[in-house]
Amino acid sequence: MSDSFPSTEHITTRDLLSHHFISQNKMDKQQNQNQEQNREIDMISIQRSAKQLNFGSYEEKEKAAKEIKRLAMADEGGCVKRIMAELGIVQSLVRMLTDGQDHGDGLSGRIAAVDALIELAKGTFRTKVLMVTAGLLSKLQQLINNKEFSRRQELPLLLLSISSLAKTNFHFTPRHILPFLISTLNSKETPLCTRLTCLETLYNFSLRLENIKSMVSNGAIDAFVILALEKATSEEALSVLSNLILSVEGKRGIENHPMVPKTLIEIMSQEENPRCQELASYLVMVLAHGNNEQRRKMHECGIVQVLLQLALLGSPLAQKRALKILEWYKNEGPQKGCVHSGPRMESTVSISELNSAGNGNTKDNGKSVKQMVKQSLDRNMSSLIRRATGSRELFSGISEKVLVFSSSSKSSPY
């Protein structure tokens, strides 16, 4: 008995392993069968939904739109979305946006159609193109007059998805929906999340120069300048302005806006947001380049002191831009630059002291740096700039384009 025990144990272990593998294979086969069944069920559901969208009552269309949204959300590989596009479901959903306007319960159905289109558009270029070619933007324009519908978050989300086409070679014009986006930004009732969605949408549209003229004519600049002063929307608004200023119409509109100089100077003085300081200094560079009138306006608003503070306490990119603008003011001379033209004083505060203060804790030394900058401004601006820039050899090998390279989505000489 003792001799046969090991053999019995060995057989039992082998049987257990064999049973485990057999069970695993059965589970895999069952899982594959379930997946196949789910695919068949999905296909049946897709075909039924497509039929309801084309021939069903409005209640059936609404039910079908909700089912399409569910299937699109569960589609991980994109196969279901491709099938829906081939069956013409996208075009049917777009038609549904205006087909039920006279229906008593049409609002809920249109919202269901928008929700389904949002899910279908996620990550699929083809679906977005089908939406635009089916007349989505012009149909949405008809819905904007419905206050209850236009106030909802779904519409801006759908427009944000469509606006990503501006980054591709597909050409379309958003002029139909620009007034809605800008009025939504200006409305005090608009929640922050919706404002950010509209800003991102307008940023995408501003990537195309042909869209900028329509944006300017619809009052976009005024909305962006106001939002640039709000911490929650400052970076997004400045990013759009950085795109607008690259066109003739956009630059002219920004130059003529009365709030622009004070707004940009105020933003550059906000040390807690380095990214906004960089964007604001970029806009200042573009406006001030070769434009004495703009420099004069900015000087009257106190830009020189802010630039000196930025040159010492800002990020590397903001420092380079601030130093470049200061060079322009210095090269204009005492009368054009409106700086102090009195005799040079030997008791000026040295920039080496300012730099040593700036190298410490920014919050602790910020007040002392600002005070020293203010004292030094009245004594000798040329000396300040020369010392702030340090050794000439340090920047002699750096071209002007590198010094003022824009981190925005477009290239420019700044």
Looking at the predicted structure, is the pLDDT value of residue 44 above 70? Answer: yes
Looking at the predicted structure, is the pLDDT value of residue 179 above 80? Answer: yes
Confidence band for 372, pLDDT divided at 50, 70 and 90: low
Looking at the predicted structure, is the pLDDT value of residue 313 above 70? Answer: yes
Write the DSSP string, 118-162: HHHHTT-HHHHHHHHHTTHHHHHHHHTT-HHHHTSSHHHHHHHHH
Looking at the predicted structure, is the pLDDT value of residue 77 above 90? Answer: no
According to the model, what pLDDT value does residue 15 have?
58
Q: How far apart are CA 288 and CA 264, in angstroms?
A: 12
* pTM for the whole structure: 0.74
According to the model, what pLDDT value does residue 16 have?
55
CA angle, 209 then 210 then 214, to 5°? 110
Instruction: Label residue 34 exposed, middle or buried (CB < 10 Å: 0-12, 13-18, 19+).
Output: exposed
According to the model, what pLDDT value does residue 43 have?
86
